[in-house]
Amino acid sequence: MTDALRLHIYKSQKALITTHKSPDGDAIGSVVSWYFFLKNLGKEAHVVIPDRPADYLLPFLKDVDYSIFDQGFHQNVANFDTLYCLDYNGAGRVGKDMESFVLDFPATKVMIDHHPHPQDFCQITISRPEVCSTAQLIFECIEEMGYIQQLDVAVGKGIYLGMLTDTGSFRFPSVKAKTHEVLAYLLKIGVNHVDIHEAIYDVNTVSRLQLRGYAIAEKLELFPGLPIGLISLTLDELHRFHYQKGDTEGLVNVILSIEGISIAAFFVEHEDGIKISFRSKGKYFVNEFSAKHFMGGGHQYAAGGFSNETLSVTIDRFRSLVEELTPLK
């Protein structure tokens, strides 16, 4: 399929690059790397993000021509010949406001994504769930198309960002030998991994640390006799600690780091509903559970979900379903 992608890129002149709502590091890293890759090929490109990323991700968009869709998108889509869908495999992942924009886009749509079960809404689909991140998949596409010379530091920085954040700093089971081969190449061409680590992990505010400390000290619940841990935060609790987008990023992994815990669940109340994060390890998979019960999905060991019910009702429903989270036979 990369042959079809290469041919399309050759013919294309002006592209829109999109990613999913509430973009994480892999989403931002993917759009940044693909943007600079296309620019290196002499193409015009513009990035459209459904909503504002967390503050710590904004510096990575420096020198990128981008718009935030829910703050107003004023480009004439008729001027673009391609819509790239990066790090999402269903149009609903961009949110209700932007979904029809994606589905109704009048020209060629191209998906590059690593989540399982892609939906059929793009003319060109490159889907590899076995790859640790969409950012690494972008590297592989560039490599397979014979464009590796166009992969400079600007492209590589986005790729490193996506790989770093979607693998939990390279510790998840999705990391394979190829991942480290890609990392070695990125460092060889001059990507400064120290700066990227510091930009992601050394940007804590006092209120963020207080919120995380409160969540762990006061809201952590362990299920007796089961390898399950849970944290929940109400909207009032978020406001109490002056919550900013990204403040709870990675908190679900803290639960999973507890000795004896193999399944972590994190429930956060927002204005529009309950956002849920699941993580697991070993013989416990969470993606199908999330898809079945919480309008979510994702990878075997990392999945998201959502609920329109109240926080207490959502958590009670989770409690009633934990027996389904059993190890594979």
pLDDT tens figures, 235-253: 999 999 999 988 999 999 9
State the average pLDDT over residues 178-203.
97
CATH of domain 2-201: 3.90.1640.10
CATH topology of domain 206-324: Diaminopimelate Epimerase; Chain A, domain 1 (3.10.310)
CB 51, CB 68: distance < 8 Å: yes
Share of the chain above pLDDT 90, in %: 90
Domain with CATH 3.10.310.30 in the chain: 206-324
* pLDDT tens for each residue of 253-311: 999 999 999 999 999 999 989 999 999 999 999 999 999 999 988 888 999 999 999 99
CA-CA-CA-CA dihedral for 193, 194, 199, 205, to nearest 10: 150
Enumerate residues 6+ apart whose C-beta is below 8 A from 110.
5, 8, 82, 83, 84, 85, 122, 123, 124, 125, 126
Summarize pLDDT for 31-55 with one digit per residue, the tens.
999 999 999 999 999 999 999 999 9
Within the chain, all domains assigned CATH 3.90.1640.10 are found at 2-201
Pairing of strands 273-280, 66-68: unpaired
